[in-house]
Amino acid sequence: MFSSLTFQKRLLASVILSGSVFLFLALLYTYDYRSKLTEKIMQEQSDVLQVVLRERIKAKENFGLGLAVMLANNPLIGDYLVNDQRTKALNYVNSVTKNYAETTNYRGLKIQIHTADGHSWLRNWTLKSTVIIYYFALVSSK
């Protein structure tokens, strides 16, 4: 096939053929490099976002712990609990959550107060579904 062509046409055909092959190989390499680079960038960004998420979760845990300690040491809450004044306690808790909603980024705080024996005494939120809590007492027979 190539023997009937002139030297210039054979040279042109071989340059075009080899150029096409090298261009095809370059495109394959670029595509492969681009996909690997994309994976690398996505992995790096994933690592950064995981660090940010862990920091935000830790900050939220610290916030919740601080709020729990503040309410546990609040003398008003203690007085309301001792005197069984749930309405006043609920009003106070709602004012605390309203204050936090207005002054911080924390909205929709859920506060639940338990008695010393572990029973729920007050909460400022309602259950979305009916939950039955069973308390079992160990009875010894003599």
pLDDT at position 45 is 94
Residue that terminates a domain, selected from 46, 73, 100: 73
Distance between CA 133 and CA 112 in Å, rounded? 16
pLDDT band at 116 (very low <50, low <70, confident <90, very high): confident
Distance between CA 24 and CA 18 in Å, rounded? 10
Query: Domain span at residue 30?
Result: 1-73
Kindly report, residue by residue over 39-58, the tens digit of the pLDDT: 999 999 999 999 999 998 88
pTM: 0.52
Say yes or no: 49 and 98 in one domain. Answer: no
Mean of the per-residue pLDDT values for the chain?
A: 82
Cβ-based neighbours of 131, under 8 Å, separated by 6 or more: none
Say yes or no: 24 and 69 in one domain. Answer: yes
Distance between CA 52 and CA 94 in Å, rounded? 31
Say yes or no: 84 and 20 in one domain. Answer: no
Distance between CA 85 and CA 83 in Å, rounded? 6
Say yes or no: 16 and 32 in one domain. Answer: yes
72 contacts 121 by C-beta, under 8 angstroms: no
Report whether pLDDT(111) > 70: yes
